[in-house]
Chains A and B, each alone.
Chain A
Amino acid sequence: EVQLVQSGAEVKKPGESLKISCKGSGYTFSFYWIAWVRQMPGKGLEWMGIIYPTDSDTRYSPSFRGQVTISADKSVRTAYLQWSSLKASDTAVYYCARRSADGNFFEYWGQGTLVTVSS
């Protein structure tokens, strides 16, 4: 069974750094792209970027490039999303999603990680 298990909720202060994770199981982790998706409170889903764990080839949405860093460690079957300096506007639920083999849709989803940034 394919599963994506995300790290737990975080409460941070503005200016702090953070790295959240998404661990894949039940499939060959290296061979499937993993995307990150943001959902701000009461808002819709936004595609942030995607990474191919085999070679860490990464693509970012223009809206998120330079704001976050997406990485992966295939040895531990885990993808990451990190911030160097959080802002209150980063408060959101973040989902990871595995792309399908043909790459055209999101086939499996993590449960989401709530990040709250507040002073």
Chain B
Amino acid sequence: QTVVTQEPSFSVSPGGTVTLTCGLSSGSVSTSYYPSWYQQTPGQAPRTLIYSTNTRSSGVPDRFSGSILGNKAALTITGAQADDESDYYCVIYMGSGISLFGGGTKLTVL
């Protein structure tokens, strides 16, 4: 069974840049998987950040960007701010209506 992998945790200094990644247990992530990224703070519903690899959802600041780095999808936050401290989830679209979530990355800004 395919598993979507993410770093369990990451930390970044305020104003710094961090790149979170999203891989597959078998194979590479490509644009054909339409990777998307979601931000979730405690007690809140997820918020859509990035879709189709690198398209920002409406209202998302341009310090968030998506890409493919090597064989993984990536979410880069440039100029991290305190309120970027959240859990970040990637989703891989497997086709036939089926999606898989990664385990999530807990980002600390300190």
Q: In the complex, what residue of chain B is closest to A63 when comparing beta carbons?
A: B1
- Give the A interface residue count (CB, 8 A): 27
The B-contacting residues of A in range 39-59, CB under 8 angstroms, are: 44-47, 50, 52, 57, 59
Identify which of B91, B93, B102 gathers the most chain A CB atoms within 10 Å of its CB: B91
CA distance A84 to B100 in the complex (A): 25
Q: Is the interface of B mostly helix, strand, loop or mixed?
A: strand
Interface size for B (C-beta < 8 A) is 25
| B64 close to A (CB within 8 Å) | no
CA gap between A27 and B2 in the complex, in Å = 34
Let me know if A31 is at the binding interface, CB within 8 A: no
Choose one: A33, A107, A110; the contact of B97 (CB below 8 Å). Answer: A33
Can you name the residue of chain A whose Cβ is closest to the Cβ of B104? Answer: A44
| Beta-carbon contact of B96 and A59 below 8 Å | yes
Which residues of chain A have a CB within 8 Å of any CB of chain B?
33, 35, 37, 44-47, 50, 52, 57, 59, 61-62, 95, 97, 100, 102-112
Known: A45-B46, A95-B45. 20 other contacts (CB 8 A): A44-B87, A44-B89, A46-B101, A47-B91, A47-B99, A61-B98, A62-B1, A103-B93, A103-B97, A104-B93, A105-B34, A105-B48, A106-B38, A106-B46, A107-B48, A107-B51, A107-B57, A109-B47, A110-B45, A112-B45
